Structure 1
Amino acid sequence: MPITSQTDGSGVAVVTIDYPPVNAFPTKGWFDLADAVRNAGRDQRNRVVVVRAENRGFCAGVDIKEIQRNPGHQSLIDANRGCAEVFSAVYDCQVPVVTAVNGFCLGGGIGIVGNSDIVVASDDATFGLPEVDRGALGAATHLARLVPQHLMRALFFTARTITAQELQHHGSVFKVVPRSELDDAAMEVAADIAAKDGRVIRAAKEALNGIDLQNVHRSYRYEQGFTFELNLSGAADEIRERFEDDLARQRAAGGTH
């Protein structure tokens, strides 16, 4: 199963992403992840949720090939709604969400991480929004929760990535560890939370969301409106086609996976 959830009765639920090789999400995957996070949070036995991933990176974002395969705009609409569902599920989860980030965290992965409560990352983790290079917009809302405003703009406009160590400097990544220690580090933080009274933890999560300065739901949906505009204009299709052509040339030259 690409999205699995398990708990051992300790108050920690672990949700795992597994879309090999790079965790590029098909449309259904976003909704499945949203359901898994929501269900874990509703379970009164759980006091914290850990979201982790198998494979080479935490998340490569939307499966662009799925969108390109299907004519019309329905796949894009479904993918955008799916992303909004996941980001909301993480933010609104009734208990704190700890994300354990390995390797690359791109596109929709930034939405997951930016809306989570605590981020633990491996020392090879990188974070970025390649949206501008893909003819889309979105998740600047969540990148802005990880870095200061002007750095967010620089990263967004250039589509550059930032390392886990740099994010730790800005205070948005709680801990950076060797990749082999990532799961243990995330579970250690989760265990600290799970040891608290669940009634207090659930109240604290709701209270902290209530004093947040930004409405992340409305902000992200506003961004998505410009993604639809770029698609309706034809610009996004042209850019995605060039991206696919570039990838094909790189593969032929042996320059990418």
Structure 2
Amino acid sequence: MGVSTSVPREGVALVTVDFPPVNALPVQGWYDLAAAVGAAGADPDIRCVVLAAEGRGFNAGVDIKEMQRATGPEALIGANRGCFEAFAAVYECEVPVVAAVQGFCLGGGIGLVGNADVIVAAEDATFGLPELDRGALGAATHLARLVPQHLMRTLYYTSRTVTAEELHRHGSVFDVVPRERLAGAALELAGEIAAKDGYLIRLAKAAINGIDPVDVRRSYRFEQGFTFEANLSGVADRVRDTFGTDKEQQT
């Protein structure tokens, strides 16, 4: 359980997240993920990183139960900072990051894949931000990198999800494959990227980030300010307390 790194083929690092039952990450898990992605990208022998997960779903966001057990603001501050660091680590990774997504990708999961360079998804993958149903805000920055503006707003306000095939039609998911082929498809694509010159691929990543029209770090940090306001006002706790037992919907 936790975050692990392996090198399944030359030039490719595989960072795997495993927090049963639904990959809802505790505070330390976000920091561990950020450290693993950062370390993989800094390795001169690595030219592409694959971000994957074990279990039924890719990511169910923040572990709400950890926050509900807290008696002070430490868990909220930790979750916000941890998510910020993990999302930034994916975006700022020195080499391209391929996200391999299966099952549900919710909340913080959108922050990860929205900042990835390439997304390969299983046919059963679904993507969404149920933040408003969970007393939270944030990651609209990253959802906006996956779908057009008005669809992003609709998904955000309604907490609806979209399928991998729908995102494929929008061009944000590169390929949709049967679940049993997900790992192989992601590694194959990563291998194609890793075949490039290591120095040049790092320059390419820096150049592409440099021409992004939105500073994703500043944009997400702005969103987080409203998350704090929701918590200080008490509305976040009021909504969170209605949170059911469906652990697949943690975010």
TM-score (normalised: structure 2): 0.97
Q: Return the offset for 1:9.
A: 5.7
Shift in alpha-carbon separation, 1:9–1:181, aligned structure 2, 3 A: closer
Partner of 2:129: 129
* Structure 2 letter corresponding to 1:83: C
Partner of 2:102: 102
Partner of 1:88: 88
Partner of 2:214: 214
CA-to-partner distance for each residue in 1:141-183, whole Å, 9 max, x for gaps?
0000000000000000000000000000000000000000000
How many angstroms apart in 2 are the aligned matches of 1:50 and 1:71?
Answer: 37
CA-to-partner distance for each residue in 1:197-232, whole Å, 9 max, x for gaps?
111100000000000000000000000000000000
Q: Return the offset for 1:135.
A: 1.1
* Structure 2 letter corresponding to 1:12: V
Q: Return the offset for 1:190.
A: 0.3
Partner of 2:240: 240
| Paired residue secondary structure (2:124) | coil
- Structure-to-structure mapping, 1:26-65, within 5 angstroms: 26-65=26-65
How many angstroms apart in 2 are the aligned matches of 1:2 and 1:178?
Answer: 25
How many angstroms apart in 2 are the aligned matches of 1:114 and 1:228?
Answer: 22
| Paired residue secondary structure (2:88) | helix
Contact 1:129 1:159 in 2 (8 A): yes
> 4+ residue stretches of structure 1 with deviation over 6 A?
none
Partner of 1:205: 205
Partner of 1:176: 176
Shift in alpha-carbon separation, 1:161–1:9, aligned structure 2, 3 A: closer
| Paired residue secondary structure (1:5) | strand
Flag the structure with larger Rg: 1
Q: Return the offset for 1:72.
A: 1.4
What is the root-mean-square deviation in Å for CA atoms of aligned residues? Answer: 1.2
TM-score (normalised: structure 1): 0.95
Consecutive unaligned residues of structure 2, counting only runs of 5 or more, are none
1:223 aligns with 2:223: yes
Contact 2:9 2:191 in 1 (8 A): no
How many angstroms apart in 1 are the aligned matches of 2:236 and 2:138?
Answer: 13
| Paired residue secondary structure (1:14) | strand
Consecutive unaligned residues of structure 1, counting only runs of 5 or more, are none
| Paired residue secondary structure (1:25) | coil
CA-to-partner distance for each residue in 1:107-157, whole Å, 9 max, x for gaps?
000000000000000000000000010111000000000000000000000
